A and B are shown apart, each in its own frame.
Chain A
Amino acid sequence: MPAIVTAERLSKTFRVKVRDPGLKGALAALVRPRYRDVHAVRDVTFRIEPGEIVAFLGPNGAGKTTTLKMLTGLLYPTTGRVEVAGFVPWTGGRDFKRRIALVLGNRQQLVWDLPPEETFLLNRAIYDIAGAAYTERLAELVDLLDLRDVLEKPVRQLSLGERMKCELAAALLHHPPLLFLDEPTLGLDVTAQEAIRGFLSQYRERHGATVLLTSHYMQDVTALASRVLIINRGHLLYDGALDALVARIARIKRIELVLGPGDGVTAEMLAGFGTVKSFHFPNAVLEVRRDEAAATSARLLAALPVADLSIEDPPIEDVIRQAFAQGLGEDP
């Protein structure tokens, strides 16, 4: 099957005005403006197959959103080639736009003063959705997103979480095969975040849509995405499965122990097996080298009264932080 998204050597350079601080700087900028090139995205290449859920990861200003905007046709790339759903985004016109949905976490398309249903009706006309299909899809979205009680309230009276749910409903009424979500859970509380994640994975299962999302929240990524693209300072650092990234970056594993009854186990004894991260009897956490995790576990079970033992990867946040700090250039 051909890729639904192809980006080849994609770059975007913004020209920004720079000025020194203070009145002098302001005057100098007025008389002789100076510019600096900001390379938001540099030479990024990737392909996405239909049905994949892919997450863009990276710190603020890494180039995630800029990439997303180039893929949706909002921005013209400085160099490089993009093909999305068979179209070049910025020349694809209406046929292209009918095939995508773009949801921006901090900008909304819902008409502020009116109930969300008015935006849905507007989109029904804009996307030429037939009456029966509209009724059926709206019912499905209302059900999946639990929107029954909010349909008639003006948008400005909705909570942030309710608004985001309505944004998603408005963006999906035309059943786009390709979803671009920029920070869909930004600023939401944990319950609302989970509701959005649950919805997205259900929606994708039902309709087989391809999803590209950017997020700051690792839970979004671990819960939804099978594949991550890590971008930092405009460069694509990593493209692949999340598990493989962890295996590549994290050279350690965590062994979490629950010790059995009886005393006599000390931190010093545990230190003989690995680095003790925490020890509050009966719980202990050790870090050991990845390739020795199995052997160390066996030795622990043989030597100590262990009631329970599990081997875990370090928290994904730690892995990502390490990835940005160390880079991903070399294999371990």
Chain B
Amino acid sequence: MTGTVDWLRRYGALLRAAWLQDLQYRASIVLWLLWGVTEPAVALGIWWAIAADGPVQGYARADFARYFFALMLVNQLTIAWDSWYLDSWIRDGELNFRLARPIHPAHEAVAENIAYKARTAGMILVVWLIVAAVWPAVRLPFGADRWALTAAAVLLAAALRFFISFATGLLAFWTTRATAIMELHAGISLFLSGRLAPLALLPPAVARVAGFLWFPYMLAFPVDLLTGTVHGAALVQGFVGQVVWLAVWVGAYRLAWTRGLRKYGAVGG
């Protein structure tokens, strides 16, 4: 029991430090938020124009609106910047003091994720509620079970994206191009995770490839869950996919962490 209390206290302190730091950079938070909003807004604009003459493969204008609003929220709740932090920690030697402390550096990263997500997703939610008040198309019917399932899927997606980002960032132990690899991953995920279009609209061959990889479980699955377009067997398959890929990426992270520390040059002081 004291163990749990200690961890709560540690996370409390890490979150406090993360929030206080974020408050110093209000302008950059707004910029990141704008970036997070702009991309889905642009995508929505394009699909809105395309769907002017009628539904595209079953997606009407209102469906696109709901999809991209849900995407905006889920993306903010699951996005992870950790590979960029890790890259600089490893290459500039800032990992050193973190390794000397009796807490795994990942906890600091998790706390920063929680701090960031709580704030930006909160702001998106407010924006969504305001828009929904005047524009019925983006309103979502409330269903306790669906919200609960969505919450679980969002949590799994956030964990998945965190471990992908963390494990990729750890590549900085071996290469100076870890962030470039992450950029490449982000580029691919633009198509395969549903950021530009619902996966149902992808060419069948591309959608099949995506289905074998982790990308749909990062974003598209929880978004579809939230907008109510996934049911039955697809729902179970979605959760199974999330859990399996999470396990794979946790494994990748553990491997990179233990191997990387052996390789570590502890640059600088």
Contacts and interface: CB of A to CB of B under 8 A. Distances in A.
Interface of A: 14, 65, 69, 72-76, 90, 93-95, 97-98, 100-102, 104-109, 111, 113-114, 118-119, 121-128, 182-183
B136 interface: no
B55 interface: no
B100 A126 contact: no
B102 A121 contact: no
Would you list the 5 A-B pairs with minimal beta carbon distance, nearest first?
A: A125-B13, A104-B269, A94-B102, A106-B269, A97-B102
Indicate the member of B6, B92, B96 with the most A CB atoms within 10 Å. B96
A127 B102 contact: yes
Interface residues of B, number: 30
A106 B93 CA distance: 10
A123 B103 CA distance: 10
A98 B12 CA distance: 20
The DSSP consensus for interface residues of chain A is mixed
B97 A109 contact: yes
B239 interface: no
Nearest to B103: A126
6 contacts: A73-B99, A75-B265, A76-B264, A107-B268, A108-B97, A113-B20
Contacts of B25: 113
Contacts of B231: none
Contacts of B6: 128
B97 to A, nearest CB: 4
Given A122-B13, A127-B102, A106 B268 contact: yes
Contacts of A119: 17
Contacts of B38: none
B176 to A, nearest CB: 11
A118 B15 CA distance: 12
Given A65-B269, A69-B266, A126-B10, A74 B20 contact: no
B4 interface: no
Interface string B88-102: 000011101111111
A273 B245 CA distance: 85
A100 B100 CA distance: 8
B146 interface: no
B259 to A, nearest CB: 11
A126 B97 contact: no
Given A76-B261, A125-B10, A111 B97 contact: no
B14 interface: yes
Contacts of A98: 102
A76 B262 contact: yes
A272 to B, nearest CB: 52
Contact of A113 (B21, B93, B265): B21
Contacts, number: 90
Contacts of A182: 269
Given A75-B265, A76-B261, A95-B102, 20 more contacts: A65-B269, A74-B96, A74-B100, A75-B266, A76-B264, A94-B102, A97-B102, A101-B100, A104-B93, A106-B269, A107-B94, A107-B96, A109-B101, A118-B20, A122-B13, A122-B16, A125-B12, A126-B13, A126-B101, A126-B103
Interface string B1-34: 0000010011011101100110011000000000
Contacts of B266: 69, 74-75
A90 B99 CA distance: 10
A90 B257 CA distance: 13
Contact of A126 (B16, B102, B268): B102
A93 B104 CA distance: 9
Contacts of A69: 96, 266
B19 to A, nearest CB: 10
A170 B269 CA distance: 17
Contacts of B13: 121-122, 124-126
A128 B92 CA distance: 28
Contacts of B10: 125-126
Contacts of B20: 113-114, 118
A114 B14 CA distance: 13
Contacts of A14: 265
A56 B102 CA distance: 25
B10 to A, nearest CB: 5
Contacts of A97: 100-102
A138 to B, nearest CB: 15
Contacts of A107: 92-94, 96-97, 268-269
A174 to B, nearest CB: 9
Interface string B218-253: 000000000000000000000000000000000000
Contacts of B97: 102, 104, 107-109
Given A104-B96, A126-B102, A75 B264 contact: yes
Contacts of A65: 269
